[in-house]
Each structure stands twice: as structure tokens, then as C-alpha cells.
């Protein structure tokens, strides 16, 4: 029966095993029963049933009636549920205390270890934690944040990270973004003009989408998107504090920043003419004087 399956599932969440839950439910239905009756109703083998009843007795959920044969009775349902739920709350409170102690212990150990290690690190962060890693990197940035990004990633990041960027700006962080010039969104509410008006960031535009998407934090660490074609939440990221990589990424950004345009609607060179025939000038001279 579905109702019994639901009851067993809830009792398991409250700390009982499947056999204990079946035993208790059978006892509730029969009021007072001997082992033979409980086994028949619960469908639990007798060898398992004896052990289950002893465990329920230790938990205070079953009473033993000294008769011949010996019979058993479940305590009232309300009392049973209160006991089980109360134990869960108590266990959670104890686990919370242990968690706080463990956090302090691990942090102290990390600080001691950090003083001994100064080597470069390379961490591949899974896509499920990529946004959180970027948020934390922004939160600890003190002076500069430089980013190379496609337009889609930039607009998505501005939706998810605006609060962190505003806080960084409030700390005096200079934020620069070199992004792909968007196509066909210049007049939309989500167009570049909207972001160009924001006081906490500077934007320049590139003619094409970058093949490398990277963020540089204080020129001390970088985050590189592993798959630049994927959406914002669908790619792992590589974090590193290796100074060679950081310097290379910073040089890469500066070259793009110098060559990028401040106007998102800049015009590229027109297509070359295929007709090379000289065009006559108006007036009495058919061709220009060389």
C-alpha cells in the first residue's frame, strides 16, 4: 500500500531502519501482539524481527508485556514521533557545534600551512562552482580588475555580478572590460549604452569575439574560461596565481585595450571594389592629371 510505503519512508527519515519501521507499523495496527502475529503482518522474517524489536525497545518505542507467550505493544504514535524528531533536533545541534569546532580547526591549520607554501597553484573549478569562484575573486580584489569577454558573457555577468562589481568600485577598484562589439542590440534596453553609463566600469569594444576569455584580479591571479563558446554557467574555469600566466594575461589585455574602440558602433573597412576601371571625372579632363 502506498500509505504504508510513505509511512516507512518518513520513519526512515526520522532515524529508523526499514525493518524497524515495518515492525513498529505492524505493532500499531495490532495493538498487542506476539512474535508470530507481528511477523505475519509485517512480512519481516522472525530472525530479523527479534533483533528489530530489541532495538525498538532500547529506543523506548516498544513495550514488552510479560505474558505467555510474551507479547509486545507500540507506544502511542504521537509519543513515538516526538521522541524520534526530538533526537534529530538534538543530533543536529550537536553536529552544528562539531562543525564550528572543525571549521576553526581547519582554518587554523590552513593559516599555518599557508605561511609555509608560496608556490603557484592551478585549480580547475567545475562549472557548478564557477560563478561562486568568480564572485569570491571579485570580493577580494583591491585595486584592478581587467576582463576580456564576449558580449553574451559580459551581459550575463553583469546580471549576476553587478552587486559584487559595485562593491569593488566602492573599495576603489578600477574595472576595465574589453568586450566584443554587439550586433543589432544598440537600441535595446540591454545594449552597450546601458553599461557605458555605469560609473564603476570602463568598456571598450573589439570587432570580433575573443577566443580567450580571461579575468585578471590585481595582477595577482587570473580566471580563464575553459570553453569560451559555452554559456556562463556551462563551462569550468581555470584559476591560477602563477605570475608568468598572470603577466601574459595582463599583456594580452593591454594590447586588446589599446586597439579596442570606445564606440560600440565603429565601422570596419568597407569591402574592396572588384571593378578596377578608372572612373572619368566631370569636366574637360577625362582622367585626373598624375
pLDDT digits (tens, 9 = 90+) for 25-77: 999 988 888 999 999 989 999 889 999 999 999 999 999 998 888 999 999 99
Per cent of the chain over pLDDT 70 is 84
Tell me the mean pLDDT in the region 123-145. Answer: 93
Instruction: Supply the pLDDT for residue 190.
Output: 61
Residue 281 has pLDDT above 50, yes or no: no
Q: What is the DSSP letter of 267?
A: P
Question: Is residue 164 within a helix (H) or strand (E), and if so which, with residue range?
Answer: helix 151-170
Tell me the backbone φ, ψ of residue 74, rounded to 5 degrees: -80, 145
pTM above 0.75, yes or no: no
**Which of 258, 251, 161 lies closest to 200 in space, CA to CA?**
161
53 within 8 A of 72, measured Cβ to Cβ: yes
- Which domains are seen in the chain, by residue range? 2-79 (1.10.10.10), 122-259 (3.30.870.10)
> For residue 9, what pLDDT band results from cuts at 50, 70 and 90?
very high
Mean pLDDT of the chain: 83
Strand ranges for the chain from DSSP E: 32-34, 62-65, 71-74, 122-125, 144-149, 174-180, 202-206, 214-217, 221-225, 237-240
Are 215 and 143 contacting, i.e. CB atoms less than 8 angstroms apart? no
Closest CA to 63 of 13, 36, 37, 24: 24
Element (H, E) at 159: helix 151-170
Amino acid at each position: 500500500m502506498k500509505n504504508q510505503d510513505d509511512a516507512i519512508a518518513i520513519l526512515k527519515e526520522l532515524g529508523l531502519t526499514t525493518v524497524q519501521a515495518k515492525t513498529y507499523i505492524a505493532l500499531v495496527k495490532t495493538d498487542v501482539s506476539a512474535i508470530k502475529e507481528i511477523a505475519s503482518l509485517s512480512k519481516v522474517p522472525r530472525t530479523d524481527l527479534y533483533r528489530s524489536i530489541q532495538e525498538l525497545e532500547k529506543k523506548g518505542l516498544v513495550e514488552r508485556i510479560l505474558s505467555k507467550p510474551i507479547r509486545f505493544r507500540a507506544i502511542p504514535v504521537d509519543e513515538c514521533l516526538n521522541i524520534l524528531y526530538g533526537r534529530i533536533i538534538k543530533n543536529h545541534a550537536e553536529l552544528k557545534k562539531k562543525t564550528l569546532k572543525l571549521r576553526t580547526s581547519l582554518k587554523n591549520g590552513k593559516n599555518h600551512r599557508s605561511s609555509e607554501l608560496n608556490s603557484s597553484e592551478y585549480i580547475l573549478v567545475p562549472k557548478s562552482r564557477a560563478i561562486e569562484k568568480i564572485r569570491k575573486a571579485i570580493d577580494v580584489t583591491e585595486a584592478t580588475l581587467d576582463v576580456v569577454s564576449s558580449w553574451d558573457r559580459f551581459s550575463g555577468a553583469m546580471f549576476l555580478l553587478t552587486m559584487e562589481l559595485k562593491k569593488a568600485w566602492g573599495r576603489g577598484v578600477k574595472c576595465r572590460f574589453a568586450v566584443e562589439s554587439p550586433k543589432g542590440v544598440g537600441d535595446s534596453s540591454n545594449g552597450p549604452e546601458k553599461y557605458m553609463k555605469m560609473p564603476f566600469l570602463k568598456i571598450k569594444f573589439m570587432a570580433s569575439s575573443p577566443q580567450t576569455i580571461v579575468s585578471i584580479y590585481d595582477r595577482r591571479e587570473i580566471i580563464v574560461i575553459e570553453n569560451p563558446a559555452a554559456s556562463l554557467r556551462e563551462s569550468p574555469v581555470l584559476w591560477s596565481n602563477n605570475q608568468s600566466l598572470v603577466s601574459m594575461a595582463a599583456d594580452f589585455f593591454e594590447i586588446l585595450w589599446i586597439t579596442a574602440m570606445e564606440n560600440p558602433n565603429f565601422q570596419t573597412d568597407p569591402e574592396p571594389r572588384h571593378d578596377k576601371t578608372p572612373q572619368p571625372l566631370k569636366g574637360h579632363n577625362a582622367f585626373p592629371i598624375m
